[in-house]
Structure 1
Amino acid sequence: MNPPSSTHTARANVPAPGTATRGDAAPGPRIGLSDPDLGPLEESFLLRAFRSGWPGPAGPETEALEAEIAARVGVRHAVAVSSGTAALHLALLGLGAGPDRIVVVPTLTFAATANAVVYSGARPVFVDCDPVTGNLDPALLADLLGRLARTGVRPAAVLAVDINGTCADYARLLPVCEAAGVPLIEDAAQALGAGSGDAAAGSFGRCAIFSFSWNKIMTTSAGGMVVSDDAALAARCRHLSTQAREPVVHYEHRDIGYNYRLSNLLAALGRGQLVRLQTMIDRRRALRNRYETLFAGVPGTRILGAGDPGANCWLTSLVVEPDVTGWDAAQLGRHLAGRRIDTRPMWKPMHRQPVFATCEAVVSGAADRLFATSVSLPSGSVLTDSDIDRVAAAIARFLDGR
């Protein structure tokens, strides 16, 4: 059974199973936004690890997953940990984030990106996005780093997030960071298997992180990873992830460490998923193509980041201009929710979150507009042809009514 989704709109308005919605047949089973895609192969990997008698922490399956992810991304080192958030925390600590330091964070992201900065003791400064892709705006970043440099402030790091599995504009971001002497961390939580040009997501900057949460492109149930070509940085992350235990026969600790290692059992699940990763990406790309075709004749709509051949299409988000369409994204979301089809707006910008209300932000209004005008559509590789036919029919009915 799929886990209950936390990524839905208007759940309270969803009819009970078997209850017909006015003008429609019975809505049918729930269709999730990005449910896990698991099968017999993953079960066999997990069972093998279970029977080995080595559940964790870490172990041979963990080490094998690290090697396989590093090889796929094209980096030398990988450290498997308990979540993408843990990976961000370790990466920031490894690069010196702490009290009296700032870290530049995109305002259009999930809260974990900013939370990890606070865990380190540093302070986030938010920067707005490119309205076409939703990724960090290089021009705004350059202006901010230049202004900070003139006051003698150098951030501990810049975090760039690959929104919906589309790589940020690293051809512009990396030179900006290098000129300012600030390391870049690629938050590729959503982007495993994506790429830009000949480079894979996860290979940009001083280090990168992945998330293997239950709704990501591949899952270990819960988990994440730090990847880097920097041997010293990877070793530091690994050390801190194992309670910072010193390599002696007794328990010796010179640093505050964390219980962040990925278990052997969950790593085995991830290894099975990795075998099928490209197939799952291809399925999500096919779903995006279906949505692009569906909305191609609807003026005032566009797919966020459309046309990027390197995107893994983790989520497909529709952007709606209500002045042109005569309807808005929230109306479409409510219509689909009434047919047991999950949707979600884009991330509410961090500078609009009450917990970060006092933080500095450099904004253009782009993230605010995307939050107000977008809806993410069911995108999981687990969706069947009949599932997506049902989604398409529900969208067509909505459009016909307007």
Structure 2
Amino acid sequence: MTKPILLSIPHMGDRELKLIKEAFDTNWIAPVGPHINAFEEEFCQVTGAGYAAAVSSGTAALHLALRLLGVESGDEVFCSTLTFIATANPIAYLGAKPVFIDSDRTSWNMNPDLLQEALENRARFGRLPKAVVLVHLYGQSADIDPILKACNQYDVPLIEDAAEALGATYKERSPGTFGRIGIYSFNGNKIITTSGGGMLVSDDPQLVAKARFLATQARDLSPHYQHSEIGYNYRLSNVLAGIGRGQLHLLSERVAARRRNFKIYQQVLGNLPGIEFMPEAIFGRATRWLTCLTIDPATFGADREQVRIALAAQQIETRPVWKPLHLQPVFAECEYIGDTVAKDLFTHGLCLPSGSNLTDEDLEQVINEILAVHHNSSKTHTYMFL
């Protein structure tokens, strides 16, 4: 029986277990300890962020970011629509209302022109959003400069959701470090993982200090347990921070492996009719966290779902591109600004197995199954028109 080829699985190195053992040997098992402090410092060195707070998930980091910027019930928050639901859920946690913005075709991320236009319209009526949440999708940075310029013009703080983009660049800098606050995820499927975990970063030390305070149940400075604010149990454990330190050391290698996956896929499949890969925007370097492509059934001979199902039958896991949040039932009543770019990408988009520990044999099997679908579809297509 052939082993399954999964979309993106953890890839451990040699140092992680040593650092975990160190946490056990010193009995630093709680959500406090030297690995946490070191992980935060080393993360800042790698990304160029000013300050960092390690937390239990990227979602927790986003929740804290919105809370730190004063988002409250009834507020509006502009948000990328082409993303995982975790980007928008924290907006709902606070009783605020997400307003979703369409993608551009250059990067698949938030369209800067649509954001500028939306902020102009809101400003005319005195209804500016409380914040903008910008996603850097599938390991590629959005076009940050015009987005940040528009936010600064109207004094609307920018939160960068770089959960999928650690190791990417935008004009030689790390996405996630441009806005007021940035967040990252270390979920098991990300480029580096702590099993579950996240990081909040900012150049404002007071914001990060407040994030740590809120993430540890908002306990006041007192010999007894005293609380003047509502807090959360969001701090990362020292054990998981040890894993993160070992993983962070391997970040450049993991990015290189995923970019190699993409290059192989593109070289073999890129000339097939109807296949287009997610472009790499000229303003940065993508990590290719996931290799994504779109399939035009009229020219390829099969649609996205037919390809996905055929690969699943061979135990190869693929996923459709994120379903836009404005099309999700839970957000059906929310405002949407844009056209059909995100919807089209979802309809035709597919994410291929992309883990940094894929073997050449794995890649060959994925490619051959896609070629087989095209070959069989082409034969059927030819037969039908003869």
Q: TM-score, normalised by structure 2?
A: 0.95
Q: Look up the match of 1:54.
A: 28
Which residue of 1 is the match for residue 16 of structure 2? 42
- C-alpha deviations, 1:103-133, integer Å up to 9, x for none? 1011111001110111122111111111232
Residues 321 and 351, structure 2, Cα contact 8 Å, conserved in 1: yes
Which letter maps to 1:285?
R
CA distance in 1, matches of 2:45, 2:96: 32
1:116 equivalenced with 2:73 (yes/no): no
- Residues 301 and 374 in structure 2, CA contact (< 8 A), matched pair in contact too: no
Deviation readout 1:45-91 (Å, 9 max, x if unpaired): 21221221111112110111000111111121000000000000000
Residue type of the partner of 1:35? I
Structure 2 Cα separation of the partners of residues 179 and 151 of structure 1: 16
**Alignment of structure 1 residues 3-402 onto 2, 5 Å:** 18=1, 28-306=2-280, 310-401=285-376, 402=378
In the alignment, is the contact (CA less than 8 A) between 2:215 and 2:233 conserved in 1? yes
The one-letter amino acid of 2:369's match is A
DSSP-derived class of the 1:208 partner: strand
Distance (Å, rounded) in 2 between the aligned partners of 1:76 and 1:132? 29
Amino acid at match of 2:166: L
Aligned residue type for 2:24: F
The answer on whether the counterparts of 2:77 and 2:130 sit within 8 Å (CA) in structure 1 is yes
Shift of 1:306: 3.4
Unaligned runs of 5+ in 2: 379-386
Q: How far does residue 296 in structure 1 lie from its aligned partner after superposition?
A: 2.2
In the aligned structure 1, how far is the partner of 2:268 from the partner of 2:9? 22
| Matching residue's letter, 1:255 | E
Aligned residues of 2:64 and 2:214 also touching (Cα < 8 A)? yes
Alignment partners' CA distance in 2, 1:233 and 1:288: 37
Deviates more, 1:259-268 or 1:325-334: 325-334
Unmatched 5+ residue regions in structure 1? 1-17, 19-27
Contact 2:216 2:232 in 1 (8 A): yes
* TM superposition shift of 1:307: 5.9
Deviation at 1:235, TM superposition (A): 1.5
- Counterpart position of 2:381: none
Q: Secondary structure of 1:42's partner?
A: helix
Q: Tell me the distance in 2 between the aligned counterparts of 1:31 and 1:345.
A: 16
SS at match of 1:96: coil
- Find the counterpart in structure 2 of residue 10 from structure 1: none
Amino acid at match of 2:34: P
- Cα distance in structure 2, aligned partners of 1:38 and 1:373: 33
Which SS does the other structure have where 1:351 is aligned? Answer: helix
CA–CA distance in structure 2, aligned partners of residues 305 and 62 of structure 1: 36
C-alpha deviations, 1:15-50, integer Å up to 9, x for none? xxx3xxxxxxxxx10001001101432222212212
The CA deviation string for residues 238-293 of structure 1, in whole angstroms up to 9 with x for no partner, is 11111111122111111100000000000001111111111111000000001111
Distance 1:307 1:224 in 2: 26
Instruction: Give 3-state SS (helix, strand or coil) of 2:107's partner.
Output: coil
Deviates more, 1:334-343 or 1:303-312: 303-312
Residue matched to 1:3: none
Question: In percent, how many aligned pairs have the same letter?
Answer: 45
Instruction: Please state whether the residue corresponding to 2:226 is helix, strand or coil.
Output: coil
State the match for 2:384 in structure 1.
Answer: none
Q: Contact 1:166–1:305 at 8 Å: present in 2 too?
A: no
Aligned residues: 376
**Deviation, structure 1 residue 397:** 2.0
Q: Which amino acid aligns with 1:190?
A: E
Q: Secondary structure at the match of 1:37?
A: coil
CA distance in 1, matches of 2:39, 2:16: 13
**TM-score when normalising by structure 1:** 0.91
